[in-house]
Structure 1
Amino acid sequence: MSSPQGGAQEKTEQASPKRLSDARSKGQVAKSMDLVAAIGFFGTVMIFAAVSGDIITNSINYLTQSMAQLSQANSFEGSYGLLFINAMTSFAGLVWPMLVAAMGLGVLANVAQVGFLASLEPLQPSFSRLDPIEGVKRMFSMKALFDLLKAFLKLTLVGYAAYLGIRGEITTLLLVGYTEGLGALVVAGSVLMRVAVRVGVVYLVIGIADFMFQRYEHSKNMKMSKHEVKEEHKQVEGDPQIKARQRERQRTLATRRMFSEIPTATVVITNPTHFAVVLKYDENGGAPVVCAKGCDYLAQRIIAKAKEHRVPVISEPPVARALYKQVELGREIPIDLYRVVAEILATIFAQKGRL
């Protein structure tokens, strides 16, 4: 049996939002590079198929311009220079849209999997990666063997898809030998495109399967033991013992503040033994305010403190209970208690000779 304090406990609990968020900030997310590559490849093939007509037209124009410039060239060296410039211009015009599209599809594939994520954590140097012993262990680990088998399986599936595609086009490919000029190029290009689409579909299926596996693997790796869940809860919510001490300290401070208000209070209304509510009334401003209150032992302390400082103590059980239950510290009394409290204050002021 593993120690409850150790990290060897079986991880049976699903990852908490905090654990997933911490892992995400470190760049640890479920992502399939095969899916990114497959989407980029398949998308590029589709774009190439859509613009293949323009490619053929540009190729014809390039050949026409090259032949015309060769016939007008004054020197052999100059003709090569013109050919090179035209070739680079034509090649750039054909390739750059597909490169941009492939990059854009790769970015979209990444965003679709993990959202917008920017983390420098994977780029930071790690000395454990430079340890030759650890490197050898990683090379011969079960994960490395599994990754090798996955790569072999993917290569086999893609290769077999290409083989089936080419085998199905054997008859068409044989016609290339009997086709002249541009026609042969068109036939070969169409065959290549159909094979590429077949391979792209297979690669896309492999990418989707790999993404689902990566999500499963990530979820499995992120699982937590009961001890980890408990420790994380302590970090987020705080240690229960520490929080209990903090609450006790807060109650002590609140009690001290309450008792500091009693010497300047106007009246203490009691139950007479179970509840005590301290009111402070300013004749020049608003309604009376509850500045302290307590029940049982605390009520007895409030009454004793009030008598010590000659603050009037009036026994009005219904009023004391209502004030204790309805009014928070520092708040004015409710309107429905104005009349009864006013009568109490009038009695006190009369006793003091103010009325």
Structure 2
Amino acid sequence: MAEEFQERTEQATPKRREDARKKGKVAKSYELSSAIVLLTSLIVFYFGGNYAYEKIANFTKYVLSNSYAIEISRDKISNYAGSVFAFWGLNFLPFIIFLMLVGVGASVAQTGYVFTLESLKFDFEKLNPASGIKKILFSRRSLFELAKGFFKIGALGLTAYIVLKGLVDDVLILIDSDIADVAGFIARSGFSLMLKTGLVYLLISTFDFAFQKWEYERELRMTRQEIKEEMKELEGDPLIKSRIRRRQREIVRMRMMQKVPKADVVITNPTHIAVALKYEAEKMNAPKVVAKGVNLIAEKIKEIAKANGVPIVEDKPLAQALYKMVDIDEEIPPQLYKAVAKVLAYVFSLKKKDRKV
């Protein structure tokens, strides 16, 4: 029960972050993406406005100049509609696709590439009215969104008011101007208004992204117990790992003991260490350690050796050197050749005597 009340004070692990991404949980500000698309649209309009104006003007002139030939019928109307769609598609579809790519790029820049279907899975918890009301009324995120909405309306409204207030005097001058000047003034004023409000919107969305990042990191925080459980999941339960290691040692020991009856000699400490050696001149470059052990294992090696008639030689320095320097199934190092050769020579001489007898 105490684990349930632990504070989430630890930073999220890489695995927790990866699991969150797989579920589609990332730090993202939709406001920032919208602001970038808005400002990009204004830039496109600024540099491509004349192009769009000329295309629309020429198309309008063509339609009006040929209005006398327009025939109203079901077939003709579908052809006219196709022509209009073709005009808009050929001239403005590239700009629309470009703005869509900007929106996607702004989203990817915040979160990286994320593809998941987790959000499409049905979840009964989402249908729970109590949890929904709690998220809406009492969560930190909902309160921030509410405050952000009021602040956004106030900031953008104030910006628009300041911009429009500065244009009042210019509007009075337009009373005696022709329609081209009025249209130009409206276009410039509208662009200035959209640009300045767009920059303010970008500033607000930047703070929104910072909050989303901060809130995301808070939600990912873990308790110390969660980190321990994750480590167990990744590395395995220490108890299970120790059992596996113990079983592995038992298997190695059993295989080792099976080789003792075929050894040529067992060199002992005499009581604490036992090392079994095997030498086949036609197969080995040097004698090989086939079994070794201390205390109980050493006693077991000597017991098996006695039962199978394997000679046991007491040589304390050699037994210690072999045990420390040579692993099982490894050949002895050159510095031990001379000492081991004396032992093997003694053992082989005993075997010859036994054969003669």
Counterparts of 2:341 and 2:173, CA distance in 1: 111
Give the Cα separation in 1 of the matches to 2:80 and 2:196. Answer: 36
- Counterpart for residue 15 of structure 2: 18
User: Structure 1 pair 127/274, CA: closer, same or farther in 2 (3 Å)?
Assistant: same
Q: Does 1:98 align with 2:125?
A: no
Q: Is the 8 A contact 1:69 1:79 kept in 2?
A: no
Q: How far is 1:164 from its partner?
A: 2.5
Unaligned runs of 5+ in 1: none
Report the 3-state secondary structure (helix = DSSP H, G, I; strand = E; otherwise coil) of the residue aligned with 1:157: helix
Q: Secondary structure at the match of 1:279?
A: strand
Q: Is the 8 A contact 1:70 1:79 kept in 2?
A: no
- Residue 233 (str. 1) matches residue 231 (str. 2): yes
Q: Residues 63-212 of structure 1 correspond to what in structure 2 (within 5 A)? A: 63-70=60-67, 73=69, 75=71, 87-143=84-140, 144-174=142-172, 178-212=176-210
Whether the aligned pair in 2 keeps the contact of 1:173 and 1:191 (CA below 8 Å) is no
Q: What count of residue pairs does the alignment treat as equivalent?
A: 351
Q: Residues 272-311 of structure 1 correspond to what in structure 2 (within 5 A)?
A: 272-286=270-284, 287-311=286-310
CA contact (8 A) 1:270 1:317 kept: yes
Alpha-carbon distance in structure 2 between the residues aligned to 1:139 and 1:173 = 45
Counterpart residue number, 1:39 = 36
2:268 maps to 270
In the superposition, relative to structure 1, how do residues 248 and 67 fare at CA in structure 2: closer, same or farther (>3 Å)?
same
Residue equivalent to 1:340: 339
Q: 1:159 and 1:269, CA in 2 relative to 1: closer, same or farther beyond 3 A?
A: farther
| 3-state SS of 1:291 partner | strand
Show the counterpart of 2:25: 28
Q: Percent identity?
A: 36
In 1, Cα distance between equivalents of 2:341 and 2:41: 86
Evaluate the alpha carbon distance shift between residue 298 and residue 59 of structure 1 in structure 2; reply closer, same or farther with a 3 A threshold: same
Aligned partner of 2:332: which letter? Answer: I
From the superposition, tell whether residues 340 and 170 of structure 1 become closer, same or farther in structure 2 (CA, over 3 Å).
Answer: farther
- Is the Cα–Cα contact under 8 Å of residues 66 and 86 in structure 1 kept in the other structure? no
Distance between the aligned counterparts of 1:97 and 1:169, measured in 2? 34
The whole-number CA distance in structure 1 between the counterparts of 2:195 and 2:159 is 10
Query: Which string of whole-angstrom CA distances, capped at 9 and with x for unpartnered residues, describes residues 25-63 of structure 1?
Result: 111121111111111222222222221221122123223
**CA apart distance, 1:177:** 5.0
User: What do the CA deviations read for 1:251-293 (whole angstroms, capped 9, x no partner)?
Assistant: 2222222212211122222233332222222332123332221
C-alpha distance after superposition, 1:125-177 (max 9, x if no partner): 11111223333333332343432222222232223223323333334455555
Shift in Å, 1:298? 2.1
Please name the residue that 2:317 is paired with. 318
What TM-score comes out, normalization by structure 2 length? 0.87
Corresponding residue for residue 216 of structure 1: 214
* CA separation of 1:44 and 1:288: change in aligned 2, threshold 3 A: farther
Provide the C-alpha distance between the structure 1 equivalents of 2:315 and 2:19, rounded to a whole number of angstroms: 58
Q: Which of 46, 53, 61 matches 1:49?
A: 46
Aligned-pair Cα RMSD in Å = 2.8
What displacement does 1:216 show?
0.9
How far apart in 1 are the matches of 2:72 and 2:245? 94
Are the equivalent residues in 2 in contact too, given 1:264–1:280 (CA < 8 A)?
yes
Q: Is the 8 A contact 1:176 1:188 kept in 2?
A: no
Displacement of 1:123 in angstroms is 1.5
The Cα of 1:179 is off from its aligned counterpart by: 4.1
Which structure 2 residue ranges, 5 or more long, are not aligned? Answer: none
Residue of structure 1 in register with 2:57 after alignment: 60
What is the rounded CA distance, in whole Å, between the counterparts of 1:186 and 1:277 in structure 2?
101
Q: Distance in 2 between matches of 1:94 and 1:206?
A: 33
Higher mean C-alpha displacement, 269-278 vs 213-222: 269-278
Are the counterparts in 2 of residues 172 and 191 from structure 1 also a CA contact under 8 Å? no
For the 8 Å contact 1:59–1:90, the answer to whether it is kept is no
